[in-house]
Amino acid sequence: MAEQKSRRDFLNLLLGGGTLATLGAILYPTIKYITPPASGEANVTQLKLAFKRSDIEADPKKAKTFKFGRDLGIILITDTGELRALAARCTHLDCTVQNRPDLGILWCACHNGRYDYSGRNISGPPPRPLEQFAVNVVGEDIFVSREKA
Amino acid sequence: MPTTTGTKPPSTLGQKSFQWLDDRFHIKALVDYMSDKSVPRHGRSIWYYFGGISLFLFIVQVVTGILLLMYYRPGADSAYESVRFIVSEVSFGWLIRALHSWSANLMIFAVFIHMFSVYFEYSYRKPRELTWVSGIVLFGLALTFGFSGYLLPWNELAFFATRVGTGMAGAVPVIGENLLVIMRGGEEVTGATIGRFFGLHVAILPAIFTVVLTAHLVFIQRQGMSEPIDWTDKPESEKKYIKFFPNFLLRDLLVWLIVLNILAVLAVFLPDGIGLIHWPLGTKADPFAPPPPVIRPEWYFMFAFQALKFLPAHLFGLEGELVGIGAFTLGGLIWALAPFLNTKAHRGKPSTPFTLFGILVLLFMIGMTIAGYILE
């Protein structure tokens, strides 16, 4: 009897193991499949903007947003006429920040978060500063690049 | 594995859950009903498996189809690109597409076997007339699934096959021209056609198929498995049965597992199919390019395609294609209404004319299919 029982146990182990292996073989590719492949534009470190300084000046808020790889950036002209480019997604809950030339800050309308033009979070809920991008002007073209590539 | 139920107070978690559900839904009656089910055991019991195999392959189609939907984007500018993205960029995307294609072909094949075995066993005889009719509807839906899915990758192969296939609808009398425009979503096969076929393939057909399939399965559950016609006058003592639960169910599951493994091997080693069952992505459809030298329908449409090609331009003073479509319609009607026409089978006697008709249909299909591939 004892021997028979152990044989049954062994068969159950085999059956259970086989079932688990089969489920694993089905689930693994399925989960890998529904995880989307990384998009090709993930590692953009430098970008030539599609607009010129005059376009930014023409904007009532003296700023324009642009796609920077998978991120969103904002480029603005300070009251001293300097070009500054920063990440445009608020570090609080991912809303898009906007320039407030009247206050001299970047402002997030969702929860009244505020950043200075260096990206420092100076008031409201944002937990972290905004990443600042380097700006280089070559003739008419504006190049934006990540400082730490 | 505790299997005891009944007098003892429930102890294990499984028994407790069962008790909980039984208090609310009276599952016990269902279990008793299930445990009474049995399957006739005889020399031709193997045919009982093919309905289940078709069902399993349909489930595979639903699962892999939903997965493909996550990346597929219908439209003339995106369909081909998204399929190429699936097979080249997405992890295991090639596998999912291969499984969907292989399973589609194997499902049609299993359905053919299932249908012919039911026909030759006279299993459609009273009381199973409606099971047969619902099966015929499912068969038609399965073919429509195949036809509409074939176009979706929007590659050269699919484009021209669809142009020829929809073009045949133009031969239907009176409504042909309108039918063609409705099918194509315009005068020509374009992005609009993809939209139609996509809607059909992923929403309309699955919905209708699910309803009819449910009816088909409910009929089978209510009536049990058909007994061979030569058991009609057999004394009860000589009839052998196998319990459905768990014996036959386990065999069914084992067959499903074997089919799953066959499917996996085919999809992994032959992701683009092989020989006449072949679905390479190839080049993107270009409506202005000349057609490739060989335009072929899928193998399960080949017999009809070839038969229509054989017809002369004029027959009995009518257009040849018209006569062909008429003959197919008539044959299909006899096939679908066999349970009502074959009165001899109702009395439990085999009917030679119906068996001969079945053999004729089978030989015609096989012959025309072979001719179609040889005469290219």
Tell me the per-residue pLDDT of B144-180, one tens digit each, with 9 for 90 and over.
Answer: 999 999 999 999 989 999 998 998 888 788 888 899 9
Q: What chain A residue is nearest to B87 in terms of C-alpha separation?
A: A33
Higher confidence at residue A102 or residue B11? A102
Interface contact flag, A30 B67, Cβ < 8 Å: yes
Q: What chain A residue is nearest to B95 in terms of C-alpha separation?
A: A29
- Check residue B318 and give its pLDDT: 74
pLDDT(A149) > 70: no
- Check residue B89 and give its pLDDT: 94
pLDDT(B125) > 90: yes
Percent of chain A residues topping a pLDDT of 90 = 45
Interface contact flag, B70 A34, Cβ < 8 Å: yes
d(CA B236, CA B157): 57
Confidence of residue A2 (pLDDT cuts 50, 70, 90): low
Closest of B48, B34, B129, B106 to residue B262, by C-alpha: B106
d(CA B112, CA B51): 10
Secondary structure letter of residue B254 according to DSSP: H
pLDDT(B209) > 70: yes
Confidence of residue A61 (pLDDT cuts 50, 70, 90): confident
Interface contact flag, B96 A33, Cβ < 8 Å: yes
- Check residue A1 and give its pLDDT: 53
pLDDT(B8) > 60: yes
Confidence of residue A60 (pLDDT cuts 50, 70, 90): confident
Find the angle CA(B357)-CA(B358)-CA(B359) to the nearest 5 degrees: 90
Secondary structure letter of residue B230 according to DSSP: G
Is the bond leading into B246 cis (omega within 30 degrees of zero)?
A: yes
Higher confidence at residue B75 or residue A42? B75
- Check residue B7 and give its pLDDT: 58
Average confidence (pLDDT) over B110-134? 96
Average confidence (pLDDT) over B82-111? 97
Q: How many Cβ atoms are within 10 Å of B210's Cβ, its own excluded?
A: 12
- Check residue B2 and give its pLDDT: 52
- Check residue B363 and give its pLDDT: 97
- Check residue B325 and give its pLDDT: 83
B76: Cα within 13 Å, side-chain hemisphere: 10
Interface contact flag, B91 A22, Cβ < 8 Å: no
Closest of B239, B272, B99 to residue A25, by C-alpha: B99
Q: Which residues of B touch A29 (CB under 8 A)?
A: 91-92, 95-96
- Check residue B72 and give its pLDDT: 97
Q: Which residues of A touch B73 (CB under 8 A)?
A: none
Highest mean pLDDT among A46-50, B209-213, B345-349: B209-213
- Check residue A13 and give its pLDDT: 95
Task: Give per-residue burial for A121-149: e unless 16+ CB within 10 Å, then b.
Answer: beeeebeebbbbbebeeeeeebebebeee
Q: Angle of helix B205-223 relative to helix B129-151, nearest 10 degrees?
A: 150
Counted across chains A and B, CB pairs separated by less than 8 A come out at: 27
- Check residue B70 and give its pLDDT: 96
Q: Are B91 and A33 in contact (CB under 8 A)?
A: yes
Interface contact flag, A33 B93, Cβ < 8 Å: yes
d(CA A146, CA A46): 7
Provide the mean pLDDT of chain B.
Answer: 92
Q: In the numeric block, which tokens belong to residue B25?
A: 């839904």
Q: Are B332 and B325 in contact (CB under 8 A)?
A: no
What is the reported pTM? Answer: 0.84
Average confidence (pLDDT) over B101-106? 98
pLDDT(B132) > 90: yes
- Check residue B218 and give its pLDDT: 95
pLDDT(B5) > 60: no
pLDDT digits (tens, 9 = 90+) for A14-38: 999 999 999 999 999 999 999 998 7
pLDDT(B286) > 60: yes
Question: Hey, is the C-beta of A36 within 8 angstroms of any chain B C-beta?
Answer: yes
Instruction: Classify residue B282 by burial, with Cβ atoms within 10 Å: 0-12, 13-18, 19+.
Output: middle
